[in-house]
Amino acid sequence: MAELPLFPLNAVLFPGTPIYLHVFEPRYRAMIRHCLDQGQDFGVVLIQAGAEALGPLPRPHPVGCRARIERVEPLAGGRMHLAARGGERFRILDLMRDRPYLVAEVEPLPMAVEPGATLAREAERLRPWAERYLTLLGQADAQSRLPERLPAAPLELAWTIAWILRLPTPRKQALLASPQASALMAELRRILREELPLAQVLLSEAGPPMAGPFSLN
């Protein structure tokens, strides 16, 4: 078990994928300063109940993802732009609300991973669908932060696909909490088969641009 500061968001972070935050609330500015001073990660958790900003501390989903700070850009008034990258998954064991921001006791949540040959087969079945989807996203929004290419490693591939999918956050949270790698890949392939025709229609109709890269705290 370990104590981990939490950043509750209306977004889901996946292992190995980036997240970009505009940090403006004093409580989260203090949390980020603490993490920088201590060389500590923070945890990104999807909000289950409550508001992301300017209100009481929300209730988070019990499964989240560690975030390692990679870059901080100071802004006027103490605000900051922050870039971080997802680390390991964790499960919340206990929440502490005695500080301005949430802190939790957490434990690692490793994923059950099948033998390499099995995962490699699942990845090869998944990859063509993901490459088509990534191409369509790039055509729909050239300004979106997308990977130039998909990772070779099966589990990295799966998490990258989960990140780029344009899905409601509850569905993304379910992907993050997947207990088994092969089941995650099978679910991603099923989702891509559903989403690809929709993405093609939206592109042909020149739909509105997607949201920008920074989430508010």
Instruction: Specify the fold of 2-108.
Output: 2.30.130
pTM: 0.88
- For residue 53, what pLDDT band results from cuts at 50, 70 and 90? confident
Amino acid letter, 149: R
What confidence score (pLDDT) does residue 117 get? 86
Q: What is the pLDDT of residues 113-147, one digit of tens each?
A: 888 888 999 999 999 999 999 988 887 766 677 88
In this predicted structure, the answer to whether residue 97 has a pLDDT above a threshold of 60 is: yes
Q: In the chain, what are the domain boundaries? A: 2-108, 116-204
Contacts of 139-147 with C-beta under 8 Å, sequence gap 24+, read 139/203, 140/199, 140/202, 140/203, 140/207, 140/209, 140/210, 141/209, 141/210, 143/209, 143/212, 144/210, 144/213, 145/18, 145/20, 145/213
